């Protein structure tokens, strides 16, 4: 007996920051489950490599990938991303806001205003813009799923990643607000908070074996996570399996936040 609980066939998923890391893994897994995915980041050539790999793997399957580059810090780029997605694929059923930045590491006391503005603008405002660009069609269709990739950093304090953690906490609150506002239209809005995952974004925390051991030895699973392990949560939230889940923050962190 087969199950369609996690089936995304016929769905269109727009995924920002999907040329590498967690975003790429989400795109790959959603495509494997039948979705047509939009690969988007600033660099078109890198996006194309990812899309080509997906399309080659799934040549005879339902899922596939399309490239539409965009700079998420520019509102006009995001509107063009949404418009081009609709023109190419007809609709947007799933929005995954994954792209984020952190140009500063250090004390909040020394945080430059321009860095603070960039972190809040890219990590919060761009998600707000994108959500409001796709929500009208979801309301009309009475169906849709929005997923924001947050972080366990948004759940605790930090002496060196303060602004980034603030932005990720705000993303989780944005999810709650949107879930309350749009639940009446059968739109689910959730976030995923990964712990330490093997991505370029977190390379400084795992590239050195000693640093990695110190960072993970107190966690119940005592290891770093892999991007695909985050992607599974995204597939759940986007599919029928997650149709009664909204306004939630799913923590995928190897247990780091419980110890």
Q: What's the rounded mean pLDDT across residues 156-164?
A: 94
Domain count, the chain: 1
Q: What's the rounded mean pLDDT across residues 30-53?
A: 97
- 171 Cα distance to chain centroid: 11
Residue 244, both tokens: 């009664």
Cα gap 157→250, rounded to integer Å: 19
Provide Rg for the chain, Cα atoms: 18
**What integer best gives the mean pLDDT of the chain?**
96
| 3 pLDDT above the threshold of 90 | no
Supply the pTM of this predicted model.
0.96
Is residue 120 domain-resident?
yes
Exactly one of 104, 105, 164, 182 is catalytic; which is it? 164
Question: Is 164 part of the annotated catalytic residue set?
Answer: yes
Cα gap 63→61, rounded to integer Å: 6
Is residue 3 domain-resident?
no
Is residue 1 domain-resident?
no
pLDDT at residue 157, as a whole number: 94
CATH number at residue 171: 3.40.50.720
Is residue 46 domain-resident?
yes
Is residue 5 domain-resident?
no
Is residue 145 domain-resident?
yes
pLDDT digits (tens, 9 = 90+) for 183-221: 999 999 999 999 999 988 888 778 888 888 988 999 999
Structural domain that includes position 201: 12-258
Q: What's the rounded mean pLDDT across residues 237-252?
A: 98
**What SS3 class is residue 116?**
helix
Of the chain, the percentage scoring pLDDT greater than 70 comes to 100
Is residue 76 domain-resident?
yes
* Kind and range of the H or E run holding 139: helix 126-141
| 99 pLDDT above the threshold of 80 | yes
Is residue 7 domain-resident?
no
């Amino acid at each position: 007996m087969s199950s369609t609980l996690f089936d995304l066939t016929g769905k269109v998923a727009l995924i920002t920051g999907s040329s590498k890391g967690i975003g790429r893994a989400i795109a790959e897994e959603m495509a494997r489950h039948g979705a047509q995915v939009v690969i988007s980041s600033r660099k078109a050539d890198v996006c194309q490599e990812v899309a080509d790999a997906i399309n080659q793997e799934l040549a005879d399957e339902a899922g596939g990938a399309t490239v539409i580059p965009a700079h998420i810090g520019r509102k006009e780029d995001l509107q063009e991303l949404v418009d081009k997605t609709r023109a190419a694929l007809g609709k947007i059923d799933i929005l995954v806001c994954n792209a984020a930045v952190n140009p500063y590491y250090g004390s909040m006391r020394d945080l430059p205003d321009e860095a603070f503005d960039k972190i809040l603008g890219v990590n919060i405002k761009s998600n707000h813009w994108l959500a409001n660009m796709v929500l009208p069609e979801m309301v009309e269709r009475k169906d849709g799923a929005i997923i924001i990739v947050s972080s366990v950093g948004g759940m605790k304090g930090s002496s060196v990643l303060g602004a980034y953690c603030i932005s990720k906490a705000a993303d989780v609150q944005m999810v709650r607000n949107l879930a309350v506002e749009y639940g009446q239209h059968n739109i689910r809005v959730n976030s995923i908070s990964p712990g330490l995952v093997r991505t370029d974004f977190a390379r400084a925390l795992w590239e050195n074996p000693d640093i990695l051991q110190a960072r993970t030895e107190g966690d119940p699973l005592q290891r770093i996570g892999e991007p695909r392990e985050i992607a599974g949560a995204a597939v759940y939230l986007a599919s029928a399996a997650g149709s009664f889940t909204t306004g939630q923050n799913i923590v995928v962190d190897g247990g780091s936040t419980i110890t």
